[in-house]
Homo-oligomer: A and B are copies of this chain.
Amino acid sequence: MTVTRASEPSGNPPVDDGDPVHTLSEGVNQAMDIAMAEDPEVFLLGEDIEDPIGGVMKGSKGLSTKYGRQRVRNTPIAEQAIVGTAIGASLVGMRPVAEVMLMDFFAVAMDQVANHAAKLRYMSGGRTHVPITIRTSVGGGRQFGAQHSQSLEAWMMHIPGLKVAVPSTPRDAKGLLYSCIFDDDPCIFMETMSLLFTRGPVPAGRFALPLGVAEVKRAGDDVTVVTWGWQVPEALAAAETLAGEGISVEVLDLRTLVPLDREAILASVARTTRAVVVHAATQFAGPGAEIAALISHELFGQLSAPVERLGAVYSPIPYATELETLAFPERTRIADTIRTLA
C-alpha cells in the first residue's frame, strides 16, 4: 500500500510496516484502553459491552475487567437512554463513549443525536458542549437483511454539529477513535463489520490521527476514487486490477466525512480530471451526492468526464446473497465504472 504524505498537512504520521499487526477491532479496543488509562473522565456505555462479551463485535473486550463496571457499563436495550446519558455526562466535562450496536438502530435515537447532541453547543451559545463519541457497527454483505445492513452516514452529515469518522484500516481506527474521544464535539464513529477482523499494522501506544484529513491509500494519475470504510479495500483491489490494464487509479480514503477534506479531494481530482465516488450507503441522496456536486462545481470545465457515483442500489438490502452482492458496490463493478472513464 503506497502512502503519500501530501494530503497530511497536520503531520499525520506515516505507516510503519514494522508496527505490530492487529485487527480493526483491536485498534478500536486499544484506542479506548489508552483513553481510559489517560483520563478518568472517559467511560463506556452500551449493550453487552462488559466482559465476558466485551461488545458483540468485541470492541470493548477486556475493558470492564481492567477498568471495572463503573466505567464500562452495560445498559438496557434503550438507545435513546444510552445516547442521552452520554450527552448528559458530557455536558459537565466527562468523555463518554456510547455504543449503538448497529447503525440501523440509530433510527430509534436520532432525536438525541440530531436534536440534542448536534445542537446543544449552538443552542446554548457555546455555554455547553457535547464531547461524546458514539461507536456503531455497520452491517452489509453479511446476509443480515434490510434492518441490519444500512450505512447511514448521510443522515449524520446532513445535521450540522456532528462529526463522522469511518476508518478502513486498524491503524486509522485506532488513531481516529482516539481523536474522537478527545474531540470537544459529538463524533459518530462507524465500524464496518466486514472490516472489523481484517489485520494491519497499528502503532503501539498513544496514537492520534487528526479528524478531517483524508489519506491517499494508493497514488495514481488517471482516475481518483473517493471513498471510505468498507469500500476502500474494494477500490484498492479494483485499482490493482486496472494497473495491469495500464490504468493508474488513485484511491483517496476520506476517513472522516465531517470534517470533510475538501482540499484533498479537489487536489487529487484536479490532477486526474476523473472521479468516481464509491460508498456502501444508498446512492440516491447519499453522501456521494455531496462529494460529486462539490467536485463538479469546483472543477467545472476542468474534468475529462462526469463524476461517477457508485453506491448501494435504491432498495432495502435484500437477504439472499445472490441479490445482496448486487446491491452493494464491489471491486468488479468499481473497475467497470473506472474503465468507462479512463
Contacts and interface: CB of A to CB of B under 8 A. Distances in A.
A89 interface: no
Contact of A292 (B281, B297, B308): B297
A305 B158 CA distance: 26
Contacts of A314: 160
A309 interface: yes
Contacts of A335: none
Nearest to A161: B316
Nearest to A122: B316
Contact-residue size bin, chain A (C-beta under 8 Å from the other chain): 35 or more
A306 interface: yes
A194 interface: no
Contacts of A293: 288-289, 292-293, 296, 307, 309
B285 A122 contact: no
Interface stretch (A111-119, A136-144, A208-216, A265-273): A111-119
Interface string A140-184: 000001110000101101111100000000000000000000000
A2 to B, nearest CB: 29
Contacts of A285: 154, 157-158, 287, 289-290
A123 interface: yes
Contacts of A118: 316
Contact of A119 (B110, B147, B281): B147
Given A110-B110, A114-B107, A306-B300, A146 B158 contact: no
A282 interface: yes
A306 B306 CA distance: 12
Given A160-B284, A285-B154, A293-B307, A123 B146 contact: yes
Contact of A158 (B108, B147, B154): B154
Given A107-B111, A289-B290, A316-B119, A158 B284 contact: yes
24 contacts: A110-B110, A115-B147, A119-B147, A122-B315, A122-B318, A152-B158, A154-B154, A154-B285, A155-B155, A157-B285, A158-B282, A160-B282, A160-B284, A160-B315, A160-B316, A285-B287, A289-B290, A289-B292, A289-B293, A292-B293, A293-B296, A293-B307, A296-B307, A300-B306
7 closest residue pairs by CB, A with B: A296-B296, A300-B306, A157-B285, A289-B289, A107-B111, A292-B293, A107-B110
